[in-house]
Structure 1
Amino acid sequence: MDKNDNDKIERFHAIYSSVKKGDTTGIPMLREFLHDEDESVRWITIDLVSQLDCDLVAPLLKEVYESGDDRTREGLMFFMHDARNQSMGALLMRGMQDKNREVAITAAKSLGGKSAILVARRILEEAVNALPEVPYVVKVDERGEEECYDSTNGFTLLVADAIETLGKLGDTKSIPMLKTLWKKFKRREHYGSMYDDVIAIALGRLGDNSGLPIIRGILKESDEYSIAWLLTGGIIEAVEKLGDTESIPVLKRLWKSCKKEEFWCKLNFDKEIGAVLQRLGGKRRLIYE
């Protein structure tokens, strides 16, 4: 970054500080920094302007969204994760429908809360009709080998993210919708079991045991290298939510594997699984052989 860029950033910070203190007359001047030819200046500006809880800056961010490339739009959606006013929320909702899957998924994660639930429900309501009969295309590469490519422009991933969002945010009202959607996908030739895992886990997190056999299967095939995903992806949460004591032997196996490796212990995986085991065991003190 050269001296001119430093001067620009200093000038931006002066205007930004003024706006942050309530002087809205400086808002139009922020536009030039949001569209600056230097990428570093643009990113700093997008980051800080998106943190302003002010409806008046929303039109500027909307311009960035509409004129930016995929990477810029994704960055904007990420930086808006703390946005709380209605105008910015509307922009995040628009981002959820973006043609680029990374932009859409990032917007979904930033949105969070009740708004994310409403958007996720809408996506799933439209999913069956919006998804093509065949969600992929087969192309032959230079070696003559066939490769499959997503033909839905990332919509299949967005559907999976919407399902996960409903489970993660505890939207029990979506249980009937998820079950119906699951049945419809199972009847479609080219989808089949595509969403089995994500729907089973979401239902488990919501306290519905329809997908418990699938969850148990995932656990059974897992080892200590899968534990981070089991914890963050909702599988162990679903097991505990369902009070599935039949999963205790598998959890014990994973717990023992963690105890053997200092690395996993440093990450507290053994403590997290041990705590789940204790809770699944009720008041009894579980003895780890």
Structure 2
Amino acid sequence: MNIDNIKTEIPHNKRKRVTVLGLGNMGAAIAHTFINRGYDTVVWNRNAEKCKPLVEAGAAGIEILSEAVAASNQVVTCLLNNTAVYEVLKQVAGAVAGKVFINLTSGTPAQARDFAEWAERENASYIDGKILADPIDIGTAKAQLLFSGKPTVFDAQYPLLEKLGAITYYGEDAGAAAVDFLAQVAIGYEFLIGFLHTLQLVHTEGVDLTAFAQRVAGTLQGYGPLLSLMVNEIKLGTYQPDLGPLQVQAAMFDDLINHRKSKNVETLRMQEIKNLMDRRIADGHGAQGFSSLFELLGKQ
């Protein structure tokens, strides 16, 4: 690949130098943040044209992957997925001793642990990171970044990492940040698909969607105490009737499902919840609360 007028000179201050691999929207935001915070930033992307805006902002754009990795002791990867990360690491294996890899690519706990093991075999270090933010929020307190890996490595990299946003450290297990990340993302999608279902339902009834969304937002503010209560009930195994006894809730679910059916709105998710309630009631736990469904969710 040929990049016209690209800056390839590598600054000499290696202590404040970082390489960013991957310049999609998130990777570019990360690189811009490092540049703006005074780091000599080296950038690489498979499509080298994406380096140009970063070079214009002050980065050094390197077309050859091995040279980009060699340029810095700190290497940040932010690629499409961990399959792409595997391919990158495969190409630089054997030439990364002493380097710190900070992977900000979405992925699973098992993948994070595999990368940590790879780094150890290569005499390098690894920190796994996950981002709960939009690219526009990187570099601000709105950006939530989750990290896990060896504490000594994390502590040494903290001055760099904190430039990206609000930091939470989950401990030595390299996969711990991914556990929390995937769970939080899943909760978001579970809520949003439920929200879309209810929007479809109230839309068929002629309800103003904007006003409805505002009411839902207000209702959600009260869920914090309920979440804490449910966690406590699960820990104790007592399952007091939060939201009322299951047999009462199950009766209401017939109304919820029938209303959706009457408006030709999909009922699969609500029926799944009702089935769980019916199973729990059949097992003799109808006086318990909604949190008791936890007992069924780990069973096949």
Q: What TM-score do the two structures reach when normalised by structure 1?
A: 0.32
Question: Whose helix fraction is larger, Structure 1's or Structure 2's?
Answer: 1
Question: Whose strand fraction is larger, Structure 1's or Structure 2's?
Answer: 2
Q: What TM-score do the two structures reach when normalised by structure 2?
A: 0.31
